């Protein structure tokens, strides 16, 4: 990447502030606006198309970083497109164990907030599934019941988006892909997403697309997540197509499963009584019982507690069972080669927090294809639609202005 085309770089580590976003002047003056440079492809080698086996090299066609990496869903997706992961980060020690077992040659550190942006390697694509608990329906409901703050006011996880903004501001990668829960779009009556969108477009100058995608077209699981894709320069980007009919649970289930995964009489009775109680009260809470011909509810990080959201019917006279960790891996689209080196409890949490790999694979393919194309002379023509159906495009919006970029400090 030609460093001379970079704009003002951030010189100091991230700073704490009590404000939501504190914008500080850059130490070096912003460079004047330049005319579009001749189209030069970011990548240096042709990529294989999705579905073919790529040849991954140490100096791959693109370099990417994997923030809030979990167990490596983004890593697998972009590596399949011929990329090379130059940096990864996750604060959870058990996720680090799994990540290192599967990607031993990747530089992995813990808490990203403890790392100066200057110490992060140069990269072409930034990937981040930043923590969703502050914005998820279940997380917000629980925090409200406990009188705790959520969203950007969550002191532990809510401000991590601004760490991403600071990295984008400093390194100016050619593209980024972010993932979060569907509720991010509507959290706090849309104000949270508005801040995120304006930060990426108006303040950082990226051309942003976003879409809510349901993974049930590629895995047997109803799982809606929002993906936000951004490009430093205007590029022609198309969301990938997904099959109309997805797989069924029978395709990922084992024929023989240890008895320990079958619910005890006590737990099964408790779940039935709990569901009956809420049904009579008019609530929708209860267990999710399905079979090999169905699809699962959304796998969550709390699955280790009782497995109630996804229970497999084992026939008359036999209590249902929960999924095994290996079945959860398949439910999230991980290959059989994925190493599970932690306890069942931690494995359930890790898969419940993961991205669905085949979804990200398709998005990664579209992003890298866009980076192969020449930079557009003008803004791409984007049509705004009415309220889309589930899985259809939510909106695709570029920066509304070309204001000077502003550096970010992380809120306290």
Q: DSSP secondary-structure letter at 241?
A: P
**CA atoms of 127 and 121, how far apart (whole Å):** 14
**Residue 406 CB partners (closer than 8 Å, separation 6+):** 23, 24, 26, 169, 203
**CA atoms of 269 and 324, how far apart (whole Å):** 21
Distances (CA, A) of 353 to 130, 184, 279: 10, 15, 28
- Quick check: is 132 catalytic? yes
Q: Are 308 and 287 in contact (CB under 8 A)?
A: yes
Q: Are 300 and 322 in contact (CB under 8 A)?
A: no
**CA atoms of 287 and 297, how far apart (whole Å):** 10
Distances (CA, A) of 390 to 182, 212, 223, 341: 11, 7, 11, 36
**CA atoms of 373 and 151, how far apart (whole Å):** 37
Q: What is the DSSP string of 51-94?
A: TS-----TT-S-EEEEET-TTTHHHHHHHHTT-EEEEEE-S-HH
What does residue 198 show for φ and ψ, rounded to 5 degrees?
-70, -35
**CA atoms of 330 and 321, how far apart (whole Å):** 17
Active-site option among 85, 127, 132, 328:
132
Q: In what order do the strands lie in the sheet with 22-24?
A: 16-17, 407-411, 22-24
Q: Two tokens at 391?
A: 């899985």
Q: What percent of the residues of the chain are helix, what percent strand, and what percent coil, each to the nearest 5?
A: 30, 15, 50
Radius of gyration of the chain (CA): 22
**CA atoms of 147 and 189, how far apart (whole Å):** 19
Q: Which residues are catalytic?
A: 132
């Amino acid at each position: 990447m030609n460093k001379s085309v970079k704009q003002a770089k951030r010189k100091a580590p991230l700073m704490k502030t009590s404000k939501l976003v504190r914008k500080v002047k850059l130490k070096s003056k912003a460079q004047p606006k330049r005319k579009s440079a001749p189209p030069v492809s970011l990548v240096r080698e042709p990529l294989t198309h999705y579905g073919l086996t790529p040849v991954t090299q140490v100096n791959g066609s693109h370099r990417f970083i994997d923030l809030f990496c979990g167990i490596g869903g983004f890593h697998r997706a972009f590596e399949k497109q011929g990329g090379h992961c130059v940096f990864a980060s996750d604060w959870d020690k058990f996720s680090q164990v799994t990540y290192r077992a599967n990607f031993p040659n990747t530089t992995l550190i813990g808490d990203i907030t403890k790392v100066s942006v200057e110490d992060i390697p140069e990269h072409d694509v930034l990937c981040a599934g930043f923590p969703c608990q502050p914005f998820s329906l279940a997380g917000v409901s629980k925090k409200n019941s406990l009188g705790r703050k959520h969203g950007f006011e969550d002191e532990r996880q809510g401000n991590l988006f601004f760490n991403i903004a600071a990295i984008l501001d400093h390194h100016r990668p050619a593209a980024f892909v972010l993932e979060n829960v569907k509720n991010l779009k509507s959290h706090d009556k849309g104000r949270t997403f508005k801040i995120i969108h304006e930060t990426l477009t108006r303040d950082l100058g990226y051309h942003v697309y976003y879409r809510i995608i349901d993974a049930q077209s590629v895995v047997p699981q109803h799982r809606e997540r929002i993906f936000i894709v951004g490009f430093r320069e205007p590029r022609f980007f198309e969301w990938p197509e997904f099959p109309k009919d997805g797989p069924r649970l029978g395709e990922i289930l084992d024929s023989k499963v240890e008895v320990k995964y079958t619910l005890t009489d006590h737990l099964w009775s408790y779940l039935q009584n709990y569901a009956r109680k809420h049904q009579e009260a008019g609530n929708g809470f209860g267990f999710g019982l399905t079979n090999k011909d169905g699809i699962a509810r959304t796998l969550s990080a709390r699955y280790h507690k009782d497995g109630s959201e996804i229970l497999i019917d084992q026939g008359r006279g036999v209590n249902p069972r929960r999924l095994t960790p290996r079945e959860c891996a398949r439910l999230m689209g991980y290959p059989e080669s994925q190493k599970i080196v932690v306890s069942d409890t931690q494995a359930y949490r890790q898969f419940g927090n993961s991205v669905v790999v085949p979804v990200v694979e398709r998005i990664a393919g579209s992003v890298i294809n866009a980076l192969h194309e020449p930079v557009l002379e003008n803004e791409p023509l984007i049509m705004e639609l009415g309220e889309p159906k589930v899985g259809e495009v939510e909106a695709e919006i570029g920066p509304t202005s070309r204001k000077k970029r502003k550096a970010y400090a992380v809120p306290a």
